[in-house]
Structure 1
Amino acid sequence: MMMMDLRISLPALLLVLGLATVFAETAAPGTACEKQNATNCEECLRNVSCLWCITSKSCVTYPVKTILPPHALCPLNDARWGLCWMNFQTLIITLAVFGGIIIIAFFVCLFCCCKCENFGSSSESKIQQQTDKTKTKQEERRSEMKERHDEIRKKYGLAGQNPYSKFA
């Protein structure tokens, strides 16, 4: 019962805290970043919602509606976000490459797992076929042996019922 409460209350608490953070940052848009205009890149990027432009040496609020900052605001090659030593263009390319590698690795693993699973099921079916084949051969041998025994009984006049059959 307590574990179920934790499963529900923990995500709910995280959701409330996340929404509070978003609303707190969007309550006064642009005021914190534009105040940093006279400072340097490190001071500007302490706030995650800020973008530093090297050409204009200005700190601006990151335009979240357009995803990428427009060229009129700051060229991608001169824009800094998160790290002062890495331009935004390099950051985007690096993240795209890592994302591509992760996607390719996922599909390779998926392909390998499916291939191994099919391989395992085919070996299981081969083992099952081998077992069935062995059983049919054994039944054929039993029936042949029984026929031979019946012929020998007929030959020596022992074709009647076996007196010991009731004990078997």
Structure 2
Amino acid sequence: MAGLYRASLFVLAFVLTTTKAQTPTSSPAPTPCALRSNTSCAECLRNVTFLLLFSLQCLWCAPSKQCIDYPVRNILPPSSVCPLNDARWGLCWVNFQILIITMSVLGGVFVIAILVCCCCCCKCERIGSKREDAKVERQTRARKSRQNVKRTEMQLRHDEIRQKYGIAKDNPYARMNNP
């Protein structure tokens, strides 16, 4: 047990001496968007992340060449800030108007695809239940026909036995008394 304890202490000491103490490096504060005006779209949108609520966002307005703080309180920037056709966010070659149209179309296609999948699943389930009902009905009919065949065979065997021992009755409703 003492050997195990010493080995674990040796490993701990080795790990502590080989790892360097890492001090957390603070990233430089992002440059305010207004200071990036009159530069280029690429410079303005350089540090843009797609998480609107958690970081500084910049919006490039092409005709005025202004780098503006993204109005995070609004989903879309108002026209007074920059027209949607001239606004750039995230990528310089995609304007907001195209972005909105594309996202709307993709969202619509996604919703329609989900609805079609749900309808197909329900339809397949209904068809499957109809097939199962027909299968159960066929099995029931087959079971009844086998039962009738067995009943008929048993009746014939009983009639043969009655004939053999002379107790066959001419009238099936007559009492079976001694003759």
With the length of structure 2 as denominator, give the TM-score of the two structures: 0.67
Amino acid at match of 1:93: I
TM-score normalised per structure 1: 0.71
Distance between the aligned counterparts of 2:86 and 2:150, measured in 1? 87
Number of paired residues? 132
Instruction: Please give the residue correspondences for 1:54-69 in structure 2 after superposition, counting only pairs within 5 Å.
Output: 54-69=62-77
Q: Which one has a larger percent helix, Structure 1 or Structure 2?
A: 1
Q: CA deviation at 1:122?
A: 2.4
Mapping 1:85-96, distance limit 5 Å:
85-96=93-104
Question: Could you tell me which residue of structure 1 aligns to residue 162 of structure 2?
Answer: 154
Whether the aligned pair in 2 keeps the contact of 1:45 and 1:52 (CA below 8 Å) is yes
Tell me, yes or no, if structure 1 residue 77 matches structure 2 residue 85: yes
| Coordinate RMSD, CA, aligned | 2.0
Maintained 8 Å contact 1:33/1:47? no
1:115 Cα offset (Å)? 1.6
Match of 2:33 in 1: 33
Q: Deviations over 1:51-86 (max 9, x none)?
A: 101121101111111100011000111111112122
Q: Secondary structure at the match of 1:74?
A: coil
CA distance in 1, matches of 2:42, 2:100: 20
Consecutive unaligned residues of structure 1, counting only runs of 5 or more, are 1-23, 160-168
5+ residue gaps in structure 2? 1-26, 49-56, 168-179
Q: Deviation digits for residues 14-69 of structure 1, max 9, x if unmatched?
A: xxxxxxxxxx9xx98xx621111121111111122111011211011111111000
Q: Deviations over 1:74-117 (max 9, x none)?
A: 01111111121221011100011011111111111121122222
1:113 alignment partner in structure 2? 121
Counterpart CA distance in 2 for 1:116 and 1:101 is 22
Corresponding residue for residue 42 of structure 1: 42
Question: Which amino acid in structure 2 is aligned with residue 118 of structure 1?
Answer: R
Amino acid in structure 1 at the alignment position of 2:124: C
Q: State the match for 1:103 in structure 2.
A: 111
**Matched residue type, 1:40:** S
- Which residue of structure 1 lines up, in the alignment, with residue 144 of structure 2? 136
State the distance in 2 between where 1:136 and 1:144 align.
12
How many Å apart are 1:143 and its aligned residue? 0.9
Pair member with larger Rg: 2
* Distance across 2 between alignment mates of 1:39 and 1:53: 11
Equivalent in the alignment of 1:15: none
Instruction: Describe the SS at the equivalent of 1:77.
Output: coil
Residue number in structure 1 paired with 2:3 = none
Alignment partners' CA distance in 1, 2:104 and 2:90? 16
Q: CA deviation at 1:158?
A: 6.6
Residue identity (%): 45
3-state SS of the aligned residue for 1:132?
helix
